[in-house]
Amino acid sequence: MAGVEDPRLAGSRNPGFSNVLRLHGRRLALATLLLDACKGMPVLWLSLWLGLPPWAQGMVGLAVLLGHSYPPWYRFRGGKAVASAFGVMLVLTPWVALCCALLWAVLAWRVRTAAVASLASAGLAPLASVWLAPDYVIVVMAFTVLVLARHMLNIQRLRRGGEQGL
């Protein structure tokens, strides 16, 4: 799309922010982050406009994350759902999303490893939702489980000391 190599064919072979940052720099990485975060917002806003209960809004959000993580047109090999989860939570639980984004930014800056920042932020999300968005705790937990599951290889590499930095 931007006249550069497909990130699914190079680096970590993941289409997300971190791989695009390593392969193509900040500008395309930020565009990737923005598009991944915003792609599900229209259907989430529709769920709010329709007055769906929080659990149903969460199911819409989970569908967005599953579609991002397992797109059939890419042989079910999608992203790790961090940016998409941020976008979903920005609509449904904005204060939780902002807390997680702040933690992600601080850890990414200090530790220089996106996986550490992503895993810690995913872990914070259900805890923050207990206080900031109690109606959404269960769905935020589901988002967290998906993000953690999508990071299993990263967790293994972190344990071995082989995870690539930003």
Contact 16, 151 (CB under 8 A): no
Ordered by start, the domain boundaries in the chain are 12-160
Question: Does residue 165 sit in helix, strand or coil?
Answer: coil
User: Residues 65, 85: contact at Cβ < 8 Å?
Assistant: yes
CB atoms within 10 A of CB 34: 13
Task: Please check the confidence at residue 150 and state whether its pLDDT lies above 60.
Answer: yes
pLDDT for 14-54, tens place per residue? 777 777 888 887 898 899 899 999 999 999 999 999 999 99
Minimal CA–CA distance to 93: which of 63, 64, 126? 126
Q: Is the pLDDT of residue 3 over 70?
A: no
What rounded mean pLDDT belongs to the chain?
92
Q: What is the mean pLDDT of residues 72-99?
A: 94
SS3 32: helix
Q: What is the mean pLDDT of residues 107-127?
A: 96
- With tokens 């941020």, the residue in question is 86
Q: Is 163 left (phi over 0), alpha (psi -120 to 50) or beta?
A: beta
Q: The pTM is what?
A: 0.89
> What value does the CA radius of gyration of the chain take, rounded to a whole number of Å?
15
